[in-house]
Amino acid sequence: MLSIDKKITAIINAFNLNNYAFSKRIGVTGTTVDSIVNGRPQANGTRKRTKPGYDVLLAIINEFDINPDYLFGKSDIMLKAEVPIYSGMPKVVTSNSEGQENIVLVSTKAKAGYLSGYGDTEFIESLPSFKMPQLQNGTFRCFEVQGNSMVKTFYDGDFVFGKYIESLSDIKDNLAYVIVSKNDGIVLKRVVKHSEDDVLLLKSDNADGNFPDYRIAFDDIVEVWQVVMYASLQIPQPVAIEDKLQRLEHKIMSLEHKIQNNPES
């Protein structure tokens, strides 16, 4: 994480300013800014950086429309305009000729463009769409599963159907979600902790691989879809105990047949 002086330097560079021009914009002296970003000379030859006060930080935020969480170490997004604002509805939905919402399919190939195109009407309308009679009363989207982090629940190539979550406060522990975020893109994970500090803890169901838990901040999230149904090409094999029970059932049926046909034997 960048220190406060590095972040202020990044803001100065982002607006193509020098320290003096920056100081004039926020209403302080050039010496004040220089002491923050470069430090004041000390007797031993080192330089000691001055921590900016509340008034300085507030002036920077207001003058350059800076995301406060960026300065206070809670976000890597510098500008307020770039901070995702979670909406109660997806930015784009499609409908059929009868005015009913379609389910848009986001395949593995489409994932790369989805992060920048989720709010682009032309992009969303270019994706395959269809209706599912089983899915009503909500906005739904279908995502192709990529990778093995959620085995043995979902496999690579499966399709999960997600219902759009209208508010991040509606997210529940221990359920599977497709989460679209600025930093991590599209991920299918299980939420194991819905913390009180606007952060989600995400977990992979695959305990055999190297898939560590990680945290994601609310201000990085742009869409959340709760998995309500899935389709898979993986046909599960019968477990051993079921196989044994089936063989035993066949033997009993065969024995009953012999007794019925040969009552005196």
pLDDT in tens, 69-93: 889 877 778 998 887 678 888 989 9
What's the burial of 35, exposed, middle or buried (CB within 10 Å: 0-12/13-18/19+)?
Answer: buried
Residue corresponding to tokens 């065969």: 254
The hierarchical CATH code for the domain 103-231 is 2.10.109.10
- How far is Cα 74 from Cα 203, in angstroms, rounded to an integer? 21
* 4-82: CATH superfamily: lambda repressor-like DNA-binding domains (1.10.260.40)
Q: Does the pTM of the predicted model rise above 0.75?
A: no
How many other C-beta atoms lie within 10 A of the C-beta of residue 185?
Answer: 12
Q: Which residues pair with 181 in a beta bridge?
A: 185, 221
- CA 80 to chain CA mean position, Å: 20
What does the pLDDT look like over 202-247, one tens digit per residue?
Answer: 999 998 878 999 999 888 899 999 999 999 988 877 666 666 777 7
pLDDT at 220: 87
What's the confidence (pLDDT) of residue 85? 74
Going from N- to C-terminal start, the domains of the chain cover 4-82, 103-231, 238-265
Q: What is the pLDDT of residues 106-148, one digit of tens each?
A: 999 998 889 888 888 889 999 999 988 889 888 999 999 999 9
Closest CA to 4 of 69, 65, 62: 69
pLDDT digits (tens, 9 = 90+) for 144-196: 999 999 998 999 999 999 999 999 889 999 999 999 998 889 999 999 877 66
Task: Give the residue carrying structure tokens 């509606």.
Answer: 170
Tell me the mean pLDDT in the region 3-19. Answer: 94
